[in-house]
Amino acid sequence: MLTHLPLCSIPNPKKLLVIGGGDGGILREASRHPSLEQIDICELDQMTVDVYATYFPDIAIGYKDPQVKLHVGDGVAFLKSVPQGSYDVVILDAFHVIGSLGYDANELVEEGLLETVAKALRPGGVLCAGAESFWNQEFDLESNISMCRKILKGSVNYAWSSVPFYQSGVIGYMLCSTEGPPVDFLHPVNPLDEKENSGISNQPLKFYNSE
């Protein structure tokens, strides 16, 4: 979901940056998108990469996509180092999820993480980040959406999916575009073909469909 929701929402995404996600699962899913020409991943922890390569080859297979370039280091520093407007899509699979307890909207704003992402994205580019479960009564969805609208200056939608592993059985996603043509996250303009888009794993999609 973290991968397909943003990549399906805009036509012909070419440049993707993944922050975190060192296991390779996001890369594996990104490889289903034929328009991509460059996939950068910045993972803090080399051991995550190594452990998945050894013990979870079905997930780490994402690194076999020749477009993938791994940068080991701090995600925020990496984001700050890239030229403005470098990416069509940024996926955050590091840091706390948006709206998580003890790490509220103000902290994210203060740390400037979202501003940094906004600069790394081209106009009309898309950010997808994990967000709190809607069942968390201390998660103020409205204020988090407002914050994202204020910083990213484009379209913002909250999505969720059922994942029993997470507390409450639900994990959320925040989808945001930067200033530019509005993005209709509810109606993906760049759908995946279930049969053709098997990607580097050569496996059919298990959970995502365009509905």
In the complex, what is the shortest distance from the CB of residue 8 to a copy of itself, in angstroms, rounded to a whole number? 20
Candidate segments 5-13, 83-91, 106-114, 166-174, binder of a copy of itself by CB under 8 A: 166-174
Kindly state the tokens that stand for 138.
């201390």
9-40 b/e with 16+ CB inside 10 Å = b?
A: bbeebebbbbbbbbbbbbbbbbbbbeebeebb
**Of 168, 203, 209, 210, which one interacts with a copy of itself (CB under 8 A)?**
168
Radius of gyration of the CA atoms of the chain, in A: 16
How are strands ordered across the β-sheet holding 87-93?
68-72, 38-43, 15-20, 87-93, 121-131, 170-178, 153-162
In the complex, what is the shortest distance from the CB of residue 7 to a copy of itself, in angstroms, rounded to a whole number? 24
In the complex, what is the shortest distance from the CB of residue 131 to a copy of itself, in angstroms, rounded to a whole number? 15
135 near a copy of itself (CB under 8 A): yes
Nearer to a copy of itself by Cβ, of 162 and 210: the residue is: 162
Distance, in Å, from the CA atom of 202 to the CA atom of 98, rounded to the nearest integer, reads 32
**Of 57, 73, 123, 169, which one interacts with a copy of itself (CB under 8 A)?**
169
Q: In 3-state terms, what secondary structure has residue 92? A: strand
Residue ranges in 136-165 that form contacts with a copy of itself under rule CB under 8 A: 160, 162-164
Residues that contact a copy of itself, how many (by CB under 8 A):
8
Nearer to a copy of itself by Cβ, of 106 and 209: the residue is: 209
Distance, in Å, from the CA atom of 102 to the CA atom of 104, rounded to the nearest integer, reads 6
Q: Which residues does the annotation mark as catalytic?
A: 93
Binding site residues, a copy of itself, CB under 8 A: 135, 160, 162-164, 168-170
